[in-house]
Structure formats: structure tokens, C-alpha cells
Structure 1
């Protein structure tokens, strides 16, 4: 069938020894192989002398597949057969047809006098947009490194099951070298037309994340998939806090199609901040004044390997490393809003969320007891902060967002005045136990509906949640509702707004660290929050010292993540045992 497409012996040998191989050490049933060859010969006899219904097999050229990777815009019609042949799939022989958009196979059933010719043959297919790799399949003996018996080719498909993504292999068995070569080259040409799929990635792995399992997760679950998809990964195992940030400031980003972070929310926040800071540096933006930031040059992929992974859950809907890796491999992209945090006219950092009051105090206390195991440290900080629950006297100003697509108009202003043109600030003064500002839903296992369920990934706004002064018991009721189906904001002391800018001024005198020093004179560590007149903020799980005022602005679609917008995470509610 493919005699006109035979190539020279040298080309065939080079193709046979290529790296695009899938090794199989277990033998395939000889009976099944003979059946496939016999059926193929029978079909050739039936077609002898008849005009073929499809054009001769041909390799796809670059003109056939445009730069955007959309096969529908190619010179081939989506339903036009490009290559056709017979393969053994499972235990049966199939007539397989390749078009610009899919691979379709139909079981070959020999006719018999009693067969019902009107029965439609069962047809199966796989969309090429869901295929991320094609490999040559060989059988090798134990210890054999090269060569081996050709078995056929294997397609690797990205399959969805609920919120999870997983890889699925489709084996097309055929012993003909010529036959498999044409199919392999044609499929590779089509798959290379999907330009959104990365081929080179910069990977940062935080080896200390959660239970120090991040690097093992990457090696066992992510790296094999990257290798299967022919993705070159430049891996850096971070050695200290700020290591990834320093590399992103200096490395050549032109060599990569994306950046990947394997770790928890703190690692993700550092890499995201590094990408955006590098973008401002390349654009010559002055971050010492209020400015309009530019978008990051590369998308960011997040492999969840932390304790809560709220950013990964918000984007993928699931804490699942394989799902995150498949989103990266398939090139799925989701723009997300981010915040800029500024104080005294200078940029503090970029981030997704922030908490002041209870959230900041709890994180500061946990950081002072890093000698404890992580889970024990978190529970200790939570219980002690609840025991010493105190409100903060604040002046809270904000600008409401009137539309989901409305963007903040900014102008430089060094004196800290209004930054939004034609908008008015609303101001509240009083005692607050906690103030949360979030640009994403912040889904996690303990808050399956999200810490900020009324916001989305890219609606151009932030959720402002201000918890006023109340009793300890009422505040605990509010916290417990995050893990239930009840509305956690249906309390008289809670105020929520959809905003695009927030300014918070703390009127509390002195430093909270001084209070803690007086209460814990026997502390094993020196307090981290020790600067006079500063207050602890929890920005994406990172403790940040901020003077009396912090300005938060949302910037629509400032960063692109590998993933998809999930409305709800498929996580069962997990209640915190210490509340």
C-alpha cells in the first residue's frame, strides 16, 4: 500500500534508532501478530485492481499547519484522510484513518454468509488536540539498550476524569517499518503544529516544602511526563528563600517557553513575584513610585507540593501533581489577576492575597517558632493567637469595582493621594479582628468554596473581607464555616466588598513584636517582627513587615498560569482539628 514511499536504508536505520521509542520488555502474543499480518494481506487482495478511496499517504508540511497550531486552518479539511492503514489495537485488527484533527479506527470484521451487512461497524477515535506524544514501540530483552523488535507506534492522550487529568496510551501495533515510519512522521508533524505547547521549561523545586516531598513528587510524577512529551527541563533545586527570585532576575528567559514551580504557596508567590519584577526591569519601569505594571513574559506552571496550595487549587481545582503537569504539557493557559502591594510610594511585592490582623499575627507567631514541626507549629500559632485575640484600630479605605472588566486607571503620585482617576474612596474607621484582600478564590481543602468565594481568577477585581470586633466565640464560628456549606460571611460584624484598590492605615501604637516579647520572655528565638512601628502582614503565606500604611491594587490578567478556570474544587471538606 505504501510502496511508493520507501526510503533509503540509511534513513530507515536512523529512524529506527531514534530516541522516539517506547520500550516493551514483555512479549506480545505471536498469534495476534500473525492475525494482524494475515488480515492486512487479505485486505490488499480485496483492494487489488480497485481505485483507492483516499489519496496516497503524504507527510504534512509547515504550510499545512499554521503557526497557531489550529488544524482547522490547515490546507487539509478536518475530515480529509491523510494516511490510512491497518493496525492491531488490542486483540483485533482495525482500519485506521488519520485526518488533520483526529485518528479514527474501525474494527475489521470478516464477512460471513450469516453476517448482517447492514450493521454499522463500531467506530472509535481520538482528537489530536488531546494527544501530546507519539512514540515508536519496540520489544527489547532485559538489559538491551538499542534496537529491538518493532511492534508499532503508541499515542499518548490527555484524558479528563472530573477535575483530574491523566495520560492514556493507545497502542497501534504493526510490524512494518515503512508503515510505522510514515504514520510516526505524519503524527509528529501535526503535533508540532500546536505552538502553545512548551518545549523548554525552567523548573524550580523547593526541597523543604511540606514534608520535604517536593523533589520526589517531581521525579516520580512530573519528570516522566515531561520526558514523554519531549520537554527539556532545566531544574534548579532552591537552597534558600529568595534563591528563585535571584535567578529570575538574571537568567535569560528567551531560552524558555515557561517557568514551573514545584512547592507550596510561598514558593509560588516568590516565583510569580520574580517573573513580574523581571518584566518591570526589562520594561524599564520605576517601582519606587505608583506605576502600571507590565505583564510577565512567560507563563507559570504550578506543581502543588505544599500544605494548602491555594493557588494551585484555584487554578486546577485539585491538589494533583499529574493534573498540573498535564495542563503544562498541553499548553492550557489561564490569565489571572494579581495585586501590587505598595508602602510609602514603593513597591513591596506582587501577590495574590493578603491578610492583616488575625492572619498576620498568627503567621508571625508561627515564624517565631520554626523550631517546631510544621503541623504542630501551625496549630500552636492558631490556638495562641485565638487565646490572645485582639482587634486592630484601622482606617480602611477602598474603591469599589463597578464592572468585572473595568481596569484600574493609575497615575504616579508620590504623596500617597488618590491613585484612581474619577473614582472616590470610601473610608471606614474602627476595630477589626482581621482584614483579607484576595484577587483569586483561594480554594483549599479546609475551604472548598474558597476563602474568597465571590471572586474569580480574572474578573479584574479583589474581594475585601473586613471582620469587625466581636467575641472570641463568634469569631471561631466564622472560621469554622469556611469548611462547611454555610455562608461564612453571614454575620453582622463582617463586611464584604468587591474592590479594585484598598488602603489600610493602622492606628495602633507601637509594635506587636514588643507585646509578644513582653509575654514570651523565654522565647527560644529572636522575634522576627522587631522594627518599631511595623505591623505583620500575611502576603501569600509570606510574613512581610509593613509600616502603618499599605496600598493594594488589582491588575487584571497580569500573569498567565498553565491551567484552567475551575469554578469549584473537587475536595471534600476537611475540618481543622484544632478549632
Structure 2
């Protein structure tokens, strides 16, 4: 009679355990050997069919035995430890970070104290962390050769995965809380070393330093398996613009032209959050955790995301590429005012926002018109088949925002546009019409804190568009002239991914899934 198996599944992405009867065998396992795992006697399996590692603790009562499984796709590395007194609770030690591959010809000469198997495990709702198992042979089983055989087999499987081997990393020491270098050295670099990734690290010294390096034709960008920034959204924007322009230039494509079809870069991007807002990291992983983003890089997890090209309206001239947010009016003025208070760190945005709101003269309506191509009014939940090819909107607005990603950050838990997609080829165009100060405060509070949608307010409209033009125009100059004249007006500035763009009249075009980003995606793990 065969005993039943009761699975006790952990959240998605983690290992799982199952209660198992002693008579249940695994025919697809490589070996079935006694091991000491984390100081306890266990039986260890390597399943080559499911590519997973399985172990179960040896107990007298077989009905309480628990089998634990870890997919090898989540294994970061297998390292030998030569510590005289192994520290089983310390995540990293010097010998595992400097471990060489075991010499197959001299296994008996290896004075190995234990083997550490490092793997990634899901934690919380969206995060990941690094843990390890300490593996030792059971002295009564004489299983040294079996242990080393497991190490080689696991490493061979890992080598077959498409993971980065060489990275170009830029660290911005000035952004956010000025802790990027410490985050990189203490939390990021050790994990990269565990994964045997070669790193060329550059600490930036000025604005656009990373962008200029990436545009330098003598720098062989394509020799790397990824380009990574440790910093905020502004730092990521430098990498984005540098690599995209370099890719178009190298392929003879006119990146300044609105009508050009851009070529996707072959090299993927990575972003380790260490800035003021970290909207890109939030939108693509669900958290602004440096370890979570590092895990995505070492495991080679990727997402393709949209990029918005921002051009001068009426001119064939690129202003810059953007991945997350464009804001004109309130949010544009807030970012402009915050530039004078960079010494405050991330709190400068809070101070500039409050200051802008309480200043009556500076919260002014904007007379403008724009053409949104392939528009879909999100609030009315129309089908895309019903969307007109082009719509024109004219009115008085307090803010015009465009969210290509959700734009989640510490200041808005759900994002500027919670329903924005990562790769649907659209940006959400949000228009906040002229309203009372109290109503505008309600919109800001809903965007920042509330679970209620800001799009339910009758003075807020949102359109899902592939392309739009924006042109601010002079409003009526007397009570008898009610129609605004079409004279360009520089009434505000644009906030583009946290950077100031002074050009007011713009044309924005979304390029669907133009870049590949090392990221896990946002999936609930509870």
C-alpha cells in the first residue's frame, strides 16, 4: 500500500516542503546519500528531470519526515568553505567569496570543511533574499566523492542557464541619501561575487558622466552582458539615453526623427535602487530593495518594458528618452523648485510640493491643447477597438501627467497610474482640470495615500495613448475674448523621470518593449 503525499507549498518563487512517507522513492534523482545539512542528518537528492534539489531530515518517526525542494533555477552558486570553525549563521565569509572551482583531479587533497549552497528565496509580498545551506558528508557514510559529484552537477546545470557573466556597473555616490556606494559594496557586490560575475565598476563624478561613457565609441558596450546602475531614476535615465542613442547611431538610425523605428539594444539594463524615488525599481519588482534587484540580475530574470521618446513639438529633434513619468504644471514646477534644495535629499520633493501647493500664485491653470493618437479613455473602460485614431483636447488644467510605468515610489504607494502596463506600447495621459484648492488636495492625497482611485474624481481624466502632442497656449487676455490664442507659452517645465526639461511644447511617442530589464516582475508571493 502506497502512502499519500501532502504538499505544503510556500509562496511563489520560494522552496517548498512536503510531508513524505519513507517508502516513497524518487526514480529521477542522482544519488540518494546521507548528508549533514545545516547540522542535521538528512538524505539528499539531485533531481535532474525537474532540475531541483531535494532533501529530507532523518527522523525516527517517518510520518513526520519533511521533504524540502529548491529549484536549481534559484541557486546562485555552490561554494566550498575552508574555515577552521565554520560559521553556519554568517551569510558570507572570505573563503566562499574567493573560492575557485574544485580540482577534479585532486579531490582527496581538498581540505574542505563544508560546502555552501547559496540560493534565492522569495520573502514578503514581492521581495527576494539570499540564503544558504551548509552541506557536509556524513562521516559514517564515507560520501566525500558523492558530495563533490553533486557540486559539479549543480554547477554544470547552472552554467547552462542564460545568466550574465560580465557587467558594467555605474554607481552614483550623490543620489538619494548618498548611500549608493555603501549599498553596492555591502549588499550588491558580495552577491555578484557569489555568482562569479566579473564587474567593471565606475563611480560617477558628475551629471551625465555615465551617459557620456556609454556614448564613447571606444567603450565596447556590447562586450558586457548587462549595464547596471546603482542609484535613482535619474541615473537609470542616463544609462537608458546613452545605450539607446548609441544603439541607433551604431545601426545608422536617425534617433532624432519622430518617425524612426528604433532598434532594441542587445544589452539588458539593471537598476539597483539607491535614489530618492526609485520608481523604475518599484514598478518592475514591487519593492525598492537592492538585494531583490541584485537577485534578478544574477539569476538572469528579464522583462521587456516600454520607452517613451520625448521630442520637440514641430521639430525633428529628440529631447530625451523616458521610461516612467512626465509631469507638467504642478509636478513640473515641484521638481524645478526642488533642484535648489538637493542638500535635503529625498525630502526636498516633499518640501517643494507643500511650498508649491500653499502658494496661490503658482498653482495656476494652464491653457493648452494636445492631440492624443490611438487614445483609450481608461476611466470609461472602452475597448481598444473603440479607440479613435486621434482626439484633440483643449482646456485649462492644473497638471498634465504621462505615466509609462505605474510610477510607484515612497510618495505614492499605488503609483501615479496604478493600472499602467510595463509593455503594452502605451502611456497613460492624465489631465487634471482646473478645480478648487480643496479638490486638488483631494487628488494629491488619493494619488499618494488612498486606496480610492484618483481617476474617480470628475475633474481628472486619463487616456491610454500610443502618442501625444502637447502645446501650451496663451489664455484669454480679457473678459470679452473667451477663446485662447494659439501662441506658444512657456508657463511651466516638464518633470521627466525626475529631471527638468525646459521645453514646454513636446511630442511623445511610445516604443513598445524597446528595452530588456533585469527584473522579477510584480507578482504577489503571499
TM range, smaller chain: 0.7 to 0.9
The reply on whether 1:151 has 2:113 as its aligned counterpart is: yes
The reply on whether 1:87 has 2:35 as its aligned counterpart is: yes
* Conserved? CA contact 1:317–1:569, under 8 Å: no
* Conserved? CA contact 2:222–2:266, under 8 Å: no
Could you give the per-residue CA deviations for residues 168-187 of structure 1, whole angstroms, max 9, x where no partner exists?
11111027653433222222
Counterpart for residue 372 of structure 2:
398
Instruction: Tell me by how many angstroms 1:128 deviates.
Output: 1.0
Counterpart for residue 361 of structure 1:
333
Matches within 5 A, 1:532-571: 535-546=492-503, 548-566=504-522
The reply on whether 1:266 has 2:234 as its aligned counterpart is: yes
Instruction: Tell me by how many angstroms 1:108 deviates.
Output: 4.2
Change (3 A) 1:88 1:376: closer
Instruction: Tell me by how many angstroms 1:481 deviates.
Output: 1.0
Is the partner of 2:455 in helix, strand or coil? coil
Distance 1:90 1:552 in 2: 56
* Conserved? CA contact 1:152–1:180, under 8 Å: no
Matches within 5 A, 1:175-254: 177-195=144-162, 197-250=163-216, 251-254=219-222
Is the partner of 1:139 in helix, strand or coil? coil
Counterpart for residue 349 of structure 2:
378
Which of these residues, 122, 131, 136, is aligned with residue 160 of structure 1?
Answer: 122
Deviates more, 1:468-477 or 1:336-345: 468-477
Distance 1:459 1:424 in 2: 17
Is the partner of 1:279 in helix, strand or coil? helix
The reply on whether 1:292 has 2:240 as its aligned counterpart is: no
Which of these residues, 420, 424, 444, is aligned with residue 455 of structure 1?
Answer: 420
Could you give the per-residue CA deviations for residues 269-315 of structure 1, whole angstroms, max 9, x where no partner exists?
11112221121112211123221111122111111111211111011
Which of these residues, 374, 389, 393, is aligned with residue 363 of structure 2?
Answer: 389
Which of these residues, 72, 76, 83, is aligned with residue 128 of structure 1?
Answer: 72
Distance 1:552 1:93 in 2: 62
Could you give the per-residue CA deviations for residues 76-105 of structure 1, whole angstroms, max 9, x where no partner exists?
xx9633344331123433332222212222
Q: TM-score, normalised by structure 2?
A: 0.79
Distance 2:265 2:173 in 1: 25
Counterpart for residue 138 of structure 1:
82
Structure 1 regions of 5+ residues with no counterpart?
1-53, 55-77, 405-421, 510-531, 571-579
Is the partner of 2:454 in helix, strand or coil? coil
Counterpart for residue 309 of structure 2:
340
Change (3 A) 1:223 1:124: same
Instruction: Tell me by how many angstroms 1:324 deviates.
Output: 0.9
Alignment length (residue pairs) = 447
Distance 2:439 2:388 in 1: 35
Matches within 5 A, 1:313-328: 313-328=282-297
Which of these residues, 341, 346, 349, is aligned with residue 320 of structure 2?
Answer: 349
Distance 1:441 1:310 in 2: 8
* Conserved? CA contact 1:201–1:234, under 8 Å: yes
Could you give the per-residue CA deviations for residues 100-155 of structure 1, whole angstroms, max 9, x where no partner exists?
21222234457xxxx88xx5854333221111100112233799989984223221
Structure 2 regions of 5+ residues with no counterpart?
1-24, 87-92, 100-108, 379-386, 476-488
Q: TM-score, normalised by structure 1?
A: 0.72
The reply on whether 1:307 has 2:257 as its aligned counterpart is: no
Name which one, 1 or 2, has greater alpha-carbon Rg: 1
Distance 1:313 1:378 in 2: 18
Instruction: Tell me by how many angstroms 1:254 deviates.
Output: 2.5
* Conserved? CA contact 1:140–1:148, under 8 Å: no
Instruction: Tell me by how many angstroms 1:403 deviates.
Output: 12
* Conserved? CA contact 1:258–1:298, under 8 Å: yes
Is the partner of 1:489 in helix, strand or coil? helix
Instruction: Tell me by how many angstroms 1:389 deviates.
Output: 0.7
